[in-house]
């Protein structure tokens, strides 16, 4: 899905790879771009301030910050409630990295494998948010609001990489 139009923002200084990416690129400050959570819904309250800090440092538009918060809340709730069955004491790590004009958030857990297929490829999926039934729409929202979604199985868990634009979309004059 193409990114939504963004308001003007400061240019991003993103140029660090995802885990396993090119070592020739500079990694962002580790402590500012990594958030470790416990598998408790109360931990979700730590995410918005962290996203806000990322947004300020990388000049992210308000729309992008909203999309990041929504996608992370849905992803983390799914991991906590479905992957870890609501049991606390299990790690979830979010790592931010950049490449070009995109910010990537890798969410890693040690829950059983779960492949979040694109709900738009299923039959019977509602075409608008107003037509969607309540509940069970987290994955649909993730695919709707993230510019890219990539799942990578890990030997002992899962990695979901969400991509978001870091610069304002430019209007093309016709």
Range in 11-20, 122-131, 162-171 the model is least confident about: 11-20
pLDDT at 169 over 50: no
Average pLDDT, the chain: 78
d(CA 105, CA 68): 9
> Residue 61's pLDDT is what?
94
> Residue 28's pLDDT is what?
46
Three-state SS string across 140-158, please? Answer: HHHHHHCCEEEEEEECCEE
Q: Which residues contact 162 (CB under 8 A, 6 or more apart)?
A: 68, 71, 72, 75, 104, 105, 107, 142, 146, 148, 149
> Residue 120's pLDDT is what?
55
Strand ranges (DSSP E) for the chain? 34-38, 91-99, 102-109, 148-154, 157-165
- Write down the residue that tokens 């016709």 correspond to: 174
> Per-residue pLDDT averaged across 62-72, rounded?
97
> Per-residue pLDDT averaged across 47-76, rounded?
95
pLDDT digits (tens, 9 = 90+) for 19-32: 444 322 334 455 68
User: Buried (b) or exposed (e) across 141-174, using 16+ Cβ within 10 A?
Assistant: bbbbbbbebeeeeeeebbbbbbbbbbbbbeeeee
pLDDT digits (tens, 9 = 90+) for 100-136: 889 999 999 999 998 777 555 444 444 555 655 545 6
Of the pLDDT bands very low, low, confident and very high (cuts 50, 70, 90), residue 65 is very high
What backbone torsions phi and psi does residue 164 show, to the nearest 5 degrees? -140, 145
For residues 96 and 68, is the Cβ–Cβ distance under 8 A? no
Domains of the chain: 1-121+139-174 (3.30.565.10)
> Per-residue pLDDT averaged across 80-99, rounded?
96
pTM tops 0.85: no
């Amino acid at each position: 899905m193409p990114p939504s139009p963004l308001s003007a923002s400061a240019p991003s200084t993103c140029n660090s790879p995802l885990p396993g990416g090119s070592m020739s690129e500079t990694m962002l400050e580790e402590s500012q771009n990594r958030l470790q959570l416990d598998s408790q819904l109360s931990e979700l309250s730590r995410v918005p301030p962290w996203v806000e800090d990322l947004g300020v440092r990388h000049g992210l538009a308000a729309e992008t910050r909203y999309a990041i918060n929504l996608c992370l809340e849905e992803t983390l709730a799914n991991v906590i409630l479905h992957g870890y069955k609501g049991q606390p004491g299990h790690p979830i790590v979010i790592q931010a990295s950049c490449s070009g004009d995109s910010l990537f958030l890798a969410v890693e857990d040690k829950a059983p494998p779960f492949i979040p297929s694109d709900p738009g490829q299923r039959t019977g999926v509602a075409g608008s948010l107003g037509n969607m039934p309540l509940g069970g729409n987290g994955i649909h929202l993730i695919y709707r609001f993230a510019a890219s979604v990539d799942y990578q199985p890990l030997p002992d868990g899962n990695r979901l990489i969400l991509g978001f634009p870091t610069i304002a979309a430019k209007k093309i004059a016709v």
